[in-house]
A and B are shown apart, each in its own frame.
Chain A
C-alpha cells in the first residue's frame, strides 16, 4: 500500500515506484529510495507512506498506490514484471520504457502513458492524455510491443511513431492518431478527430466511430466486412484506405462505413 503524505505542487519523478526496484529490498531500504520533487532530492518515505511485505522477485509484487498522484511521474518506468494498481489520477510518463508486467489505473492517466514501452500491459479505466505510447521527443523509437487499453478518451497523437503492439481506445481520440507509425495496431472505438494515420508507413488503424475527413494522401482500396485487431474480430463494414502516400507508406486505415456517410463519395473510386 502506497499513499502520498501530502499533495504535491512540483512534479515528482518517482521511477522507483515499480516492482523491479522494490524486489529484493527490505521495507527499510525501499523507503530510502531516491525521488526528485522539483529540483529537490527526497527519499520515498518523505513523500509517501509505504506499508507491506517485501518480496524477492518483481513477479510476485503488486503495488497498490492510491491518492492524488497527478504530479507523480514515471510510475512503473522500466518495469519488467509484477503489477501496479493505481486508484486515482496519475501523472505523466506512466510505464515509460516498460518491458513487462501490468499497470491498472482506476482513474485517468496524463500524457505519455506507456511511452517507448516494449512489452506488458497498461489498462486505464478513465481517459489518457496526449502522446499515448509515443517516443521521447525527437526520437523515432515509439512503442514496440505490449498493449495499452484505455476505456475513456485519449488526446492527440496517440501511437505516435508506433512500431508494434496494440493500442485500444474505447472512447474518442483527438488529432493525429497513429502519426508516423510503422507497425502495430490501433483501435478507436469512438470518434476520431482529424488526420488519422498521417505519415504512416505501415501498421493498422481501425476507427469504429466518426471521422470528419481522411487525408488526401490516402487512397481507398476496398470495403471489408470485418477486421481483426489483436486476434479479435470486429464487424463492420469498413472502408479500407492505404497510405500515407506522401511518404510511400503502406499503412492500412479502416474506417466504419455506417458511421461515416459523408465518405460515401470514395465508393465511386472503387
Chain B
C-alpha cells in the first residue's frame, strides 16, 4: 500500500527540516522519493504538524517487575479502565497499564518505538512474551548486566575482551539491545543488606568498584560497537547530594570518548541531580550537571520528569526502593534475581505541596531547559517511576510555555518555589526541539538508522498532530499543544494507518529489535565459543535453570529484527 501525506508542516530534525510545507511519500512500509499519486491513498495534512514516529528511550513497560507491580496494585487498574472496541482489546491500568493498553496508548500519542530499559536476563523470556503482546509499536529491551557475577569477576581481573565475549553471549541469549547498568555494585551489595557509598567503594565479595564496572562496561560497549551507549542508572540515585556522584560518573568515562559521539547515557537524570545533605536541605543540582553536559559531548541524558500524580516506582535498585518504602510506609516488593540483579516496587504519590516532590518536579525541567543542546537530553518520566508515560503531552506543554510553568509554580510548595531556578529561565522549546527530544535525538542515541527521521529509506513511522505551527502561539496556547500531542490526527506505523483522531483503527503487531553482538568483528568464532563453553561449564553453579531453558531462540519472538554488528557499526 502506498500513502501520500500532503501539505503538512514537516519537522524532521535529523534531515534539517524545520516546519517546511512538503509532501511525504510512503511505499511498502518505507519512505520513498516519489509514488504514483493516483494509486496512493492521500492524507491531507494541511495545517498540521508531521513528525517522525516518537521514540521512547526509557520506559518500564514489560517484564516480571512490571507484572509484579500490576499484581501489587489492583487499585491502579480499578481507576483506569478501557473497554474493548472492534479493533482493540480491553485493558486496565493508570501507572502500569496492561500490555495491549500500553501499545494503544503509545500509538495514540504518536510513538512508534519504545525501549524497555531493565530486563533481568533470567526473566528475558517473560519480558519478550510481554513485549510481543504490546501491539503496534516497535520494541527493544536492555538486559541488566552491571551487577552480574560474571561481569564483576571479569572486570575484577580486568579481562575486557573475555567480558565482551560474555556480554555478546548474553545479548544473543536474552535478545537484548543495549547494556543497562543499575546502581553498579550497589544492587549486588544489597543482596547482603548493604549499598555502595560512592564510585570508589568496593563491592563486597568482589573487590571491584563501581568506577571499574562503569569504565569496564563502557569499554566492552565500544569493543562490541553496540548501537547504543551504556545505559546507566547512577549510584546513590535518589539520595540528597548525589549530583556529585553523577558528575564523577560522567567524568570517569571522559577519556574513553572519541570525537563527538557519546559513550554514556545517564538515565532519569532528575533523580541523580540532588544537592544538599538531607531531605530538608535538598536543592537542585541541575545547574552543575547542565554546565558539565554543555561543555562535553560524550554524555546524553533523559529527564525522568516527575508528574504530580499517583504512580508506581519500580527499579532494579533494591536499596533505593527500600528507602522509598521507609519514606512512604507503603506496600513494597523486594526481589533478588539470583546472580544477576535485584529489584523493588513501591506505589508512590507525588504531591505538589511536598517540598521534596515539588523540587524534583522542578529539577527535571531545569535540566531540560538549561542543557542548551536538545540532542543531549530526551523527554522521559522513567515511566512509571516519575509518572505514567501518558503525561508526556503535558510535559511537552511545560517545555514550550513559560506561562504554564509559572502557573504550576504558584500551586507548589512555597519553599520549593522560592528555591526553584525555573522563574529565572525563559527558554521555551520550539516544535523542532520537541521533535528532537521526543524522537530524533532518542533515535540517534539508540543508533537506530531507520527511526526518528523521514528521509528516503526510513521506516514509515509517522505522527501527524493537529496543530498549525504558523498560527499557534505555543506559549499562550499550551493547552492546545497538550491536546494535540495527546491524540494524533494520524499515526502511521510501517506504512499503515494505525490510529486516526486518537482512535486505533488497526492493531498490527510491532517488531522487537535485538543486537547480535556475536557477529561483531572483535568477537571471533573462537573467543565466542570459549565464552559459551565457560558459561556452560559453570552454569549450574550460577543459576537455578538449565542453559537450554535460559537461551531464547530467535524463533521464540513473533517479529524479531536482528541487528548484526560489524566493526564499522
Seen from chain A, the residues whose Cβ lies within 8 Å of a Cβ on chain B are 135-141
Is the CB of B423 closer than 8 A to any CB of chain A?
no
Is the CB of B447 closer than 8 A to any CB of chain A?
no
Shortest CB-to-CB span from B384 to chain A, Å, is 15
Report chain B residues within 8 Å CB of A139: 74-75, 78
Is the CB of B212 closer than 8 A to any CB of chain A?
no
Q: Which chain B residue lies CB-closest to A137?
A: B74
In Å, the complex CA distance between A138 and B95 comes to: 14
Report chain B residues within 8 Å CB of A135: 75
Report chain A residues within 8 Å CB of B330: 140
Q: Could you list 15 further interchain pairs (A-B, Cβ under 8 angstroms) beyond the known A138-B72, A138-B76?
A: A135-B75, A136-B74, A136-B75, A136-B78, A137-B74, A137-B75, A138-B73, A138-B74, A138-B75, A138-B78, A139-B74, A139-B75, A139-B78, A140-B330, A141-B75
Report chain A residues within 8 Å CB of B76: 138
Shortest CB-to-CB span from B40 to chain A, Å, is 40
Task: Kindly identify, within residues 145 to 181 of chain B, every residue whose CB is under 8 Å from any CB belonging to chain A.
Answer: none
In Å, the complex CA distance between A135 and B78 comes to: 11
Task: Kindly identify, within residues 76 to 133 of chain B, every residue whose CB is under 8 Å from any CB belonging to chain A.
Answer: 76, 78
In Å, the complex CA distance between A64 and B458 comes to: 65
5 interchain residue pairs of minimum CB distance: A139-B75, A138-B74, A138-B75, A137-B74, A136-B78
Report chain A residues within 8 Å CB of B72: 138
Report chain B residues within 8 Å CB of A137: 74-75
In Å, the complex CA distance between A135 and B72 comes to: 15
Q: Which chain A residue lies CB-closest to B75?
A: A139
Q: Which chain A residue lies CB-closest to B331?
A: A138
A-B contact pairs, 17 of them (CB 8 A): A135-B75, A136-B74, A136-B75, A136-B78, A137-B74, A137-B75, A138-B72, A138-B73, A138-B74, A138-B75, A138-B76, A138-B78, A139-B74, A139-B75, A139-B78, A140-B330, A141-B75
Shortest CB-to-CB span from A74 to chain B, Å, is 13
Q: Which chain B residue lies CB-closest to A247?
A: B329
In Å, the complex CA distance between A138 and B75 comes to: 5
Shortest CB-to-CB span from B212 to chain A, Å, is 42
Shortest CB-to-CB span from B86 to chain A, Å, is 15
In Å, the complex CA distance between A135 and B73 comes to: 13
A interface majority secondary structure: loop
Report chain B residues within 8 Å CB of A138: 72-76, 78
In Å, the complex CA distance between A141 and B73 comes to: 13
In Å, the complex CA distance between A136 and B72 comes to: 13
Report chain B residues within 8 Å CB of A140: 330
Shortest CB-to-CB span from B297 to chain A, Å, is 46
In Å, the complex CA distance between A185 and B74 comes to: 27
Q: Which chain B residue lies CB-closest to A201?
A: B329
Q: Which chain B residue lies CB-closest to A139?
A: B75
Shortest CB-to-CB span from A38 to chain B, Å, is 15
In Å, the complex CA distance between A138 and B73 comes to: 6
Report chain A residues within 8 Å CB of B78: 136, 138-139
Report chain B residues within 8 Å CB of A141: 75
Q: Which chain A residue lies CB-closest to B72?
A: A138
Q: Which chain B residue lies CB-closest to A141?
A: B75
Shortest CB-to-CB span from A179 to chain B, Å, is 14
In Å, the complex CA distance between A136 and B79 comes to: 10
In Å, the complex CA distance between A137 and B74 comes to: 6
Report chain A residues within 8 Å CB of B73: 138
Shortest CB-to-CB span from B155 to chain A, Å, is 41
Shortest CB-to-CB span from B74 to chain A, Å, is 4
Q: Which chain A residue lies CB-closest to B74?
A: A138
Shortest CB-to-CB span from A42 to chain B, Å, is 16
Shortest CB-to-CB span from B427 to chain A, Å, is 39
Shortest CB-to-CB span from A36 to chain B, Å, is 11
Shortest CB-to-CB span from A202 to chain B, Å, is 13
Q: Which chain A residue lies CB-closest to B329?
A: A247
* Interface flags, B406-428, vs A, CB<8A=1, else 0: 00000000000000000000000
In Å, the complex CA distance between A138 and B94 comes to: 14
In Å, the complex CA distance between A136 and B75 comes to: 6
Central interface residue in B72, B73, B75, B330, by most chain A CB within 10 Å? B75
In Å, the complex CA distance between A141 and B78 comes to: 13
In Å, the complex CA distance between A150 and B73 comes to: 30
In Å, the complex CA distance between A138 and B330 comes to: 11
In Å, the complex CA distance between A139 and B331 comes to: 10
Report chain B residues within 8 Å CB of A136: 74-75, 78
Shortest CB-to-CB span from A58 to chain B, Å, is 24
* Interface flags, B49-84, vs A, CB<8A=1, else 0: 000000000000000000000001111101000000
Shortest CB-to-CB span from A251 to chain B, Å, is 15
In Å, the complex CA distance between A244 and B131 comes to: 44
In Å, the complex CA distance between A137 and B78 comes to: 9
In Å, the complex CA distance between A203 and B78 comes to: 27
Central interface residue in A136, A138, A139, A140, by most chain B CB within 10 Å? A138
In Å, the complex CA distance between A138 and B74 comes to: 6
Shortest CB-to-CB span from A118 to chain B, Å, is 15
In Å, the complex CA distance between A137 and B75 comes to: 6
Shortest CB-to-CB span from A117 to chain B, Å, is 16
Report chain A residues within 8 Å CB of B74: 136-139
In Å, the complex CA distance between A226 and B76 comes to: 42
Report chain A residues within 8 Å CB of B75: 135-139, 141
Shortest CB-to-CB span from A135 to chain B, Å, is 7
Shortest CB-to-CB span from B449 to chain A, Å, is 44
In Å, the complex CA distance between A135 and B76 comes to: 12
Shortest CB-to-CB span from A21 to chain B, Å, is 19
In Å, the complex CA distance between A138 and B79 comes to: 12
In Å, the complex CA distance between A140 and B310 comes to: 12
In Å, the complex CA distance between A138 and B331 comes to: 9
In Å, the complex CA distance between A141 and B76 comes to: 12
In Å, the complex CA distance between A30 and B213 comes to: 67
In Å, the complex CA distance between A140 and B74 comes to: 11
Shortest CB-to-CB span from B326 to chain A, Å, is 13
In Å, the complex CA distance between A137 and B76 comes to: 10
Shortest CB-to-CB span from A138 to chain B, Å, is 4
In Å, the complex CA distance between A139 and B74 comes to: 8
Q: Which chain A residue lies CB-closest to B330?
A: A140
In Å, the complex CA distance between A16 and B330 comes to: 34
In Å, the complex CA distance between A140 and B349 comes to: 12
